[in-house]
Copies of this chain bind each other. A is one copy, B any other.
Amino acid sequence: MARAATTSDVFNAIAEPQRRDILVLLRAGERPVSDVAHELGMTQPGASKHLRVLREVGLVQDRRAGKRRLYGLDARGLRTVHEWAGGFEQFWNESFDRLDAYMQELKQQGKKE
């Protein structure tokens, strides 16, 4: 098997930096593909492809507006990510302490030898 599809998951979709950039950009409001491409310095088909992935995982909504197609944020899917990562909150400081203890340990060893 190969790597899971980028469209299989919100986690996979946001693994790509440019897609995260798109999401951040869309916080400022809906935009047509061409604007996204221009503002983020990507090619038009490139932006279109990334938006497709984001749409397939539900992080983005699109609606027609005349000749153009506006893409807008649907951030609800990011709540999962936020909550999952939040489940480790109590371990952030603890990890720090552990590393600190480890450093102390190394220091002690250094003195002995």
- B-contacting residues of A (Cβ < 8 Å)? 3-4, 6, 9, 11-12, 14-17, 20, 23-24, 27, 61, 63, 72-76, 78-79, 81-82, 84-89, 91-92, 94-96, 98-99, 102
Determine how close the nearest CB of chain B comes to the CB of A109; give it in whole angstroms. Answer: 13
Given known contacts A3-B3, A15-B4, A15-B15, A24 and B95 CB-to-CB distance under 8 angstroms: no
A3, A11, A23, A86 — most chain B CB neighbours (10 Å): A11
Q: Are A81 and B81 in contact (CB under 8 A)?
A: yes
In the bound complex, CA of A56 to CA of B94 (Å): 20
* A46, B23: Cα distance in complex, Å: 33
Task: Evaluate contact between A20 and B84: CB separation under 8 angstroms.
Answer: yes
Which B residues are CB-close (under 8 A) to A85? Answer: 78-79, 81-82, 85
CA distance A23 to B20 in the complex (A): 23
**B15, B95, B102: which contacts A12 (Cβ < 8 A)?**
B15
Q: Chain B nearest CB: distance from A53 CB in Å?
A: 12
Q: Is the CB of B98 within 8 A of A61?
A: yes
Query: Which one, B11, B74, B86, contacts A99 given CB within 8 A?
Result: B74
